Chains A and B, each alone.
Chain A
Amino acid sequence: MITLTFIEPDGTAKPVSVAPGLTLMEAAMRNNIRGVVAECGGQCSCATCHMQIDAAYFDRVGAPVDDEEDMLDFAEERGETSRLGCQVEIEDSFDGMVIRIPSVQG
């Protein structure tokens, strides 16, 4: 298990203990993180699990490609480290990472 900290839209920091192999979206849903909607359940179909990744960890997480990039291009609050949480599988090297949830999804 590793520790991730989600920053909810109102600024609340929630540290969670998660198992590598899940996606960031799944980790957020299992821990009831506010501001993550994840309507499509992880199919890269809805852009409602938008997250902004800790810049210090972004090279480990990697940049979005293809459909995910196209969806993010039109998402609210797109940042330089934006990802859709459902497309990021958690790895051991993410331990300690902070993830900010934007105030609007979709």
Chain B
Amino acid sequence: MDDVVIIGGGQAASACALRLRANGFEGRVAIYGAEPALPYQRPPLSKAYLKGRMEADRLLLRPAALYANLGIEIHSGVQALNLNTATRRVAMSDNANVPYGHLVLATGATPRRLPEAQGGGLENVFTLRSLSDADALRPHIRPGQRLLVVGGGYIGLEMAAVAARAGMEVTLIEAQPRILQRVAATETADAIRALHLREGVDLREGVSLDRLLGDGKRAGLAALSDGSAVGVDLVVVGIGVTANEQLARNAGLSVQNGILTDGQCRAFAPGIYAAGDCAVFPFRGQPTRLESVQNACDQGEYVADHICGTAKGPYAPQPWFWSDQFDSSLKIAGLNRGHDRVIRRVGEKPGAESIWYYAGETFLAVDALDDPRAYMMGKRWLAEGVSPDPKALADPSIPLKTIGLLTQTAESTA
């Protein structure tokens, strides 16, 4: 029983394994990851790495020697094929049939692809999620070439920003009425849109892709829903991800938009946990799946603590996110789900602003654009479970540190 097998070799897996050892766990710890690389950071793939400003070895979360010294086995390039919860074994693509006492499913997520009928199989159509995706994409980022980005979420917008700065002619289409429709307020979307328009991105909202047209191998033209067509040399699709839940589903675990877990990250089967992008967990009373570094790290560590018997209470994350586009940095603290109003605050420095989300009198989240002070203050208020006075927030002449608090909220207790 005294062993932990981790399926998936990303940030959650690495965080879990390291925490187990930090906790003094002495049993076997083994990571099985389908990708060929050691656990690495994904966020730079659509930022510094894509620009060619970061070497591959600096993407690694930890060097191989560190895992080896801690007795953490890493089996890279090995896929888990079948999970048997009765015999407590996982069949692997290298023919191993691995027994487990504790099993951590940290399988991550896979980008949605464009359907074949729309041209998704053409060779100049890419998604951006893995190191191999980024390596395949990077040589195509060339001045004067025409890029179509499908999808105005963070990945699509970051891709557009890198490409525009590299001298590409960039068109970005978003099928929803505006960019960041599902994840951010209109005010935040307005600020991000302005960045892209200033940098010459042809950003079209409420426009979807009908299909890509080409010579059967490469896309050369994109037919859009507004009746127009744009010439393309490169297409990057950023239309969201789906949780990697097949292994769990086939094993009879509960899945719905991810692997369902209880408040302690347990996947409703003996000895099995789920962590990271693949996991659905209760947050403020709702099933929630987060795609973020914060959640991957915190859930991975929570699972390690739970296995070691040192977890205190249920998993109660403090979500945060970030996105870098052009020279701007968007930092987000909290989760804005369920907000019914926003407060916009103009920051102290030129171009700085923050958007504060409330549900009634309860502060939920802040989007801080080039305003690290607002981000840091918001993050602290969320951690303390307090709500700043929205009227004071709206007045930029009142310093953040002097803003009064409304009420205690249940925010920090999930």
* Residues in A lying within 8 Å of B, measured CB to CB: 26, 29-32, 34, 37, 39-47, 67, 70-71, 73-75, 106
CB under 8 Å from chain A, chain B span 310-368:
320, 322, 324, 329, 331
Indicate which residue in A30, A40, A41, A75 contacts B63 across the interface (CB closer than 8 Å): A30
Of the listed residues A30, A43, A45, the one surrounded by the most CB atoms of chain B closer than 10 A to its CB is: A45
User: Do B43 and A41 have beta carbons less than 8 Å apart?
Assistant: yes
CA distance A47 to B329 in the complex (A): 14
A-B contact pairs, 7 of them (CB 8 A): A29-B61, A30-B63, A41-B293, A43-B324, A44-B329, A47-B372, A70-B372
* Nearest chain B residue, comparing its CB with the CB of A68: B372
User: Do B58 and A74 have beta carbons less than 8 Å apart?
Assistant: no
Interface of A is mostly: loop
Q: Which residues of A contact B297 (CB under 8 A)?
A: 37, 39
Knowing A30-B62, A30-B63, say if A45 contacts B376 (CB, 8 Å): no
* Nearest chain B residue, comparing its CB with the CB of A30: B63
CB under 8 Å from chain A, chain B span 22-67:
22, 41, 43-44, 47-48, 58, 61-63, 66
User: Do A32 and B18 have beta carbons less than 8 Å apart?
Assistant: yes
User: Do B322 and A73 have beta carbons less than 8 Å apart?
Assistant: no
Q: Which residues of A contact B376 (CB under 8 A)?
A: 47, 70-71, 73-75
CB under 8 Å from chain A, chain B span 51-97:
58, 61-63, 66, 70
User: Do B47 and A43 have beta carbons less than 8 Å apart?
Assistant: yes
Q: Which residues of B contact A41 (CB under 8 A)?
A: 41, 43-44, 61, 293
* Residues in B lying within 8 Å of A, measured CB to CB: 18, 22, 41, 43-44, 47-48, 58, 61-63, 66, 70, 293-294, 297, 320, 322, 324, 329, 331, 371-373, 375-377, 379-380, 383
Instruction: Supply 6 further A-B pairs (C-beta < 8 A) apart from A45-B324, A74-B380.
Output: A32-B70, A39-B293, A41-B293, A42-B58, A71-B372, A74-B372
CA distance A84 to B134 in the complex (A): 28
Report the minimal beta-carbon distance from B62 to chain A, rounded to whole angstroms.
Answer: 6
Q: Which residues of A contact B294 (CB under 8 A)?
A: 39
Report the minimal beta-carbon distance from A25 to chain B, rounded to whole angstroms.
Answer: 11
User: Do B329 and A34 have beta carbons less than 8 Å apart?
Assistant: no
User: Do B320 and A46 have beta carbons less than 8 Å apart?
Assistant: yes
Indicate which residue in B43, B47, B66, B373 contacts A73 across the interface (CB closer than 8 Å): B373
Indicate which residue in A29, A43, A106 contacts B322 across the interface (CB closer than 8 Å): A43
CA distance A31 to B209 in the complex (A): 48
Report the minimal beta-carbon distance from A93 to chain B, rounded to whole angstroms.
Answer: 22
User: Do B322 and A45 have beta carbons less than 8 Å apart?
Assistant: yes
Knowing A43-B322, A45-B329, say if A29 contacts B373 (CB, 8 Å): no
User: Do B18 and A74 have beta carbons less than 8 Å apart?
Assistant: no
CA distance A23 to B18 in the complex (A): 21
